[in-house]
Amino acid sequence: MLPGRKEIKDLFEGLLGREVAVTDGRPVDIGIPKPVIASYVDDNGHLRAVAVMSFGLAARSGAALALIPKGAVEAAEEDRVLPPNLFDNAYEICNVLAAPFGDAMGSHLRLREAYPPSEPVPAHLLGLAAQVAAREDVDLDITGYGVAGLSLVVSV
């Protein structure tokens, strides 16, 4: 029901054009700095999954996607503000994550919404993000950009 680590690794490496190591992680903290939370729905509009991209992963992957120097990531983390260009790139990665989610679940899923750290997230999505069952928590080490967390959770 969840994408495997190989699918996660292949997706990030394919999009970012650099090596990405995927290892055991912890659930992404939804505190400060807030993560990017993406919701995925099926063709009937039913919520099926969420991805919780740590602030650090949104900044790192967003920068790596556009070949933006790591200094932009460090500035974003210091200021605890995800610039719009890095969020837009993280949004695109969340959009592409719909495919491995759908493949693992055996149905077509699409990104419904991705919430930047600066916006409130609906309570039902926060509840699903905190769910203990049916989740995969990983750390991604993006060559040249560092390590940050990703949590993938399916609705049970």
Enumerate domains of the chain plus CATH numbers: 5-154 (3.40.1550.10)
pLDDT at 36 over 90: yes
Distances (CA, A) of 125 to 40, 52, 82, 100, 132: 10, 10, 20, 20, 14
Residues 92-97, mean pLDDT to the nearest whole number: 98
**How high is the mean pLDDT of the chain?**
96
Residue 1 pLDDT level (bands cut at 50, 70, 90): confident
pLDDT of residue 156: 80
Beta bridge partners of 52: 37, 151
Of 35, 71, 66, 67, the residue nearest 151 (C-alpha)? 35
- Residue matched to tokens 């993006």: 142
pLDDT at 64 over 90: yes
Residues 76-95, mean pLDDT to the nearest whole number: 97
Residues 21-29, mean pLDDT to the nearest whole number: 97
Residues 64-82, mean pLDDT to the nearest whole number: 96
> From CA 40, how far away is CA 49, in angstroms rounded?
5
Residue pLDDT, tens place only, 99-134: 999 999 999 999 999 999 999 999 999 999 999 999
pLDDT at 150 over 90: yes
pLDDT at 47 over 90: yes
**What pTM value is reported for the model?**
0.96
pLDDT of residue 32: 87
